[in-house]
Amino acid sequence: MRIAIVNDMPMAIEGLRRVIESAGIHQVAWTAFNGHEAIDACREDVPDLVLMDIIMPGMNGVDTTREIMRMSPCPILLVTSSVNTNSALVFEAMGCGALDAINTPVLTGNNAYGSQAPLLKKIAMLSILTQPGPLGSQSHFNIAQPRKVSLVNGSLVAIGSSSGGPQALATILQSIPDDFDSPIVIVQHVDVQFAHGLAEWLSTLSNIPVRIACDGDRPVAGTVFLAGSDNHLILAENGTFHYSPIPRDTPYRPSVDVFWQSLEQHWKGRITAILLTGMGRDGAKSMLSLRQSGAYTIAQNEETCAVYGMPKAAVDLDAAIDVLPIDDVVNALLKKR
C-alpha cells in the first residue's frame, strides 16, 4: 500500500515512516504536518491509506478528514496518542468517513516492536477491506440454516455500520422515543479499545440506554446493545449473546454478516435489519437472506452516506426493501411497530 502520514510532530512522522517501511510491503506516499497540507497533497496524489492525527494546530483531524472525504475520498485510519481523552473527536471523525482508530504505537525504546504490531495488523486488515473485487467473491460466513425453535421472540432491530457509522448511529438514536419497545443491537466496525467509549458517547445522545453486549446477556426491549469485542457477536440458540472467534478469516471484526446470520437461525420474532454507511460489503448477503426470510430491511441512501459501500452492496443484491436518507430511518421503524 502507498500510505500517507498526517501529523504535526516530526518525530512521530519519522517513527511512523519506519513502522510502515519495516513491513517490507508498504511505502510512504507523502507526509503532511497539518490539515491544509494534507488536503492539498491528497488532491494531487490520492494514497491507498492516510494515517491521520486528531489533534493538530489550525485544522484538526476531524475537519481534515471531512475535507479529504469530500474532495479526494480515500481510506483514513486515525492514529493518535489522544484517543481516550478525545473520544468524541474520534467518533466525529469516524462519522466523517474515517475507517477506524488506533493509539499511536511506542516508536522508540525496548517496547517499540511489540507496540507497533497492532498498527501493522490494522493496516493489513484495511488493505483487505479496501481491495476492489466483484461483489460476493468471497463469503466470510456460512449459508444460514433453517430457523430452529428458540426461546426468543418479539421484535428486534439489528443495525450494521462501519466508516461514517458513529454519526449515523447518533442521528438514529437521538430520534428513537424513550418508549421504544424493541431491543436494538448494533454491530459497528470499531477497534475493541474504542467500543466502550463509543457506547458512552452514544448513551449521552440516546433516549434509551446504550451499553456493551456482554456474554450471557439477553436482548431487552428498550435497550441498545453494542458489539464490544474483536470477536464476532452472535445470538445463541438459547437467546443469549456470545462472542466467537469463528470465522477467523473475515476482515470484518466484529462482522455484521456473522451476527445477522445468527439472528436468522435463532431469533423467532420479527427482525428489522438496517445497513448504514461503511466501506466494504459486510452485511449485504445476510440482509438478502433476512429479507427472503421475512425481515424488514433498510439500507441508507447514497446521498447521506459518508461511504456508500455496504449499503450499495445490499442495494445491488436487492436485499433492501427500503433505501432511505438517515433522517427517515426512525420514521420507517416507528411505522413498523
How many structural domains are present in the chain?
2
* C-alpha cell, 197: 467509549
**Does 98 fall in a domain?**
yes
Residue whose C-alpha cell reads 515512516 in the numeric block: 17
* Active-site position among 162, 163, 206, 289: 162
Residue 134 lies in a domain: no
Do 331 and 212 fall into the same domain? yes
| Side-chain-facing half-sphere of 119: CA atoms under 13 Å | 31
CATH (domain of 274):
3.40.50.180
Residue type, 108: T
pLDDT at site 192:
81
What is the reported pTM? 0.79
Domain termination site, one of 114, 129, 144: 129
pLDDT of residue 243: 97
- Which H helix or E strand runs over 32? strand 27-32
* 173 in any annotated domain: yes
Whether 37 is in a domain gets the answer yes
Grid cell digits, residue 148:
430452529
Same domain assignment for residues 248 and 176 = yes
Asked whether residue 49 carries a pLDDT value surpassing 80, the answer given is: yes
| 115 given a catalytic annotation | no
Question: Between residues 286 and 142, which one has the greater pLDDT?
Answer: 286
Residues 170 and 260 in one domain: yes
- Asked if 175 is an active-site residue, the reply is no
Lowest model confidence (mean pLDDT) among 124-133, 196-205, 240-249, 256-265: 124-133
User: What confidence tier does 115 reach under pLDDT thresholds 50, 70, 90?
Assistant: low
Query: In this structure, are 100 and 169 located in the same domain?
Result: no
Active-site residue among 48, 191, 257, 282? 282
| Shared-domain flag, residues 175 and 265 | yes
Same domain, 171 and 310: yes
Rounded CA gap, 299 and 322, in Å? 6
Residue 137, domain member (yes or no):
no
SS3 127: helix
| The pLDDT of residue 148 | 38
Same domain, 180 and 301: yes
pLDDT, one tens digit per residue, over 235-291 is 999 999 999 999 988 888 899 999 999 999 999 999 999 999 998 899 999 999 999
Question: What local confidence, expressed as pLDDT, does residue 125 receive?
Answer: 78
Domain co-membership, 35 together with 171: no
251 and 290 both lie in a single domain: yes
- Annotation says 282 is catalytic: yes
Tell me what pLDDT residue 61 has.
94
Do 50 and 9 belong together in one domain? yes
Contacts of 133 (CB under 8 A, 6+ apart): none
What domain range is 104 assigned to? 2-129
Of the pLDDT bands very low, low, confident and very high (cuts 50, 70, 90), residue 196 is: confident
Same domain flag for 59 and 165? no
- Looking at the predicted structure, is the pLDDT value of residue 133 above 50? no
Q: pLDDT (tens digit, 9 = 90+) per residue, 98-112? A: 888 888 876 665 555
Q: How many residues does the chain have?
A: 337
Q: Which residue in 26, 140, 189, 232 is the catalytic one?
A: 189
- pLDDT of the residue at 131: 63
Co-location of 99 and 234 in the same domain: no
Q: Place 94 in a pLDDT band, splitting at 50, 70 and 90.
A: confident
Confidence of residue 129 (pLDDT cuts 50, 70, 90): low
Q: Does residue 135 sit within a domain?
A: no
Report the CATH number that the domain containing residue 108 is assigned in CATH. 3.40.50.2300
